[in-house]
Amino acid sequence: MSHVKIHPYLYLPGNSEKAMNSYKEIFGGEIVSVQRYGDKPDIPCADEDKDKLLHGHLKIGDQAIYFSDMVGNHTVTFGNQVSLTLEFTEEEMIEKAYHALSEGGKVLMPLQNTFWGAKYGKVTDQFGVNWDLNCQL
């Protein structure tokens, strides 16, 4: 099991492609694939959902974030049970990511130096995703 990677899969209420493109800009990376509900005739969906994201794959270095829009009678419930944690090695990078993720979102803990010797901040971004940002000083 030492070769296992864990990649988050974000289910959003119709704005997955916007989130994927936003994270691409914030973190750098490349959109590997985009599949829409309308591309798969064996998956029934309403006409208004045909352009929504069935599966999106964003590659960031050797990591990935996957995306999908919830459609039909499926809903997204946002909560505090999961937070994506980013570990930075450069202060400039944590500050850039913090400000970009905070834009249109909610700051839960301002970016600051902490008692554990790191710069740390916590935000919920405009898509409702929780982020912990940490840079060991």
Domain with CATH 3.10.180.10 in the chain: 84-136
Structure tokens at 81: 């049970």
> What is the per-residue pLDDT across 95-127, written as a single tens digit (0 to 9) for each?
999 999 999 999 999 999 999 999 999 999 999
Q: Helix, strand, coil shares of the chain as percentages rounded to 5? A: 20, 40, 40
Alpha carbon distance 85, 111 (integer Å): 14
For the beta carbon of residue 34, count every other beta carbon within 10 angstroms: 16
Residue 137: the pLDDT is: 87
Domain with CATH 3.30.720.100 in the chain: 9-69
> What is the per-residue pLDDT across 41-51, written as a single tens digit (0 to 9) for each?
888 889 999 99
pTM of the model: 0.90
Topology given in CATH for the domain delimited by 84-136: 2,3-Dihydroxybiphenyl 1,2-Dioxygenase; domain 1 (3.10.180)
Alpha carbon distance 133, 41 (integer Å): 40
CATH of region 9-69: 3.30.720.100
Alpha helices in the chain (DSSP H): 16-27, 91-102
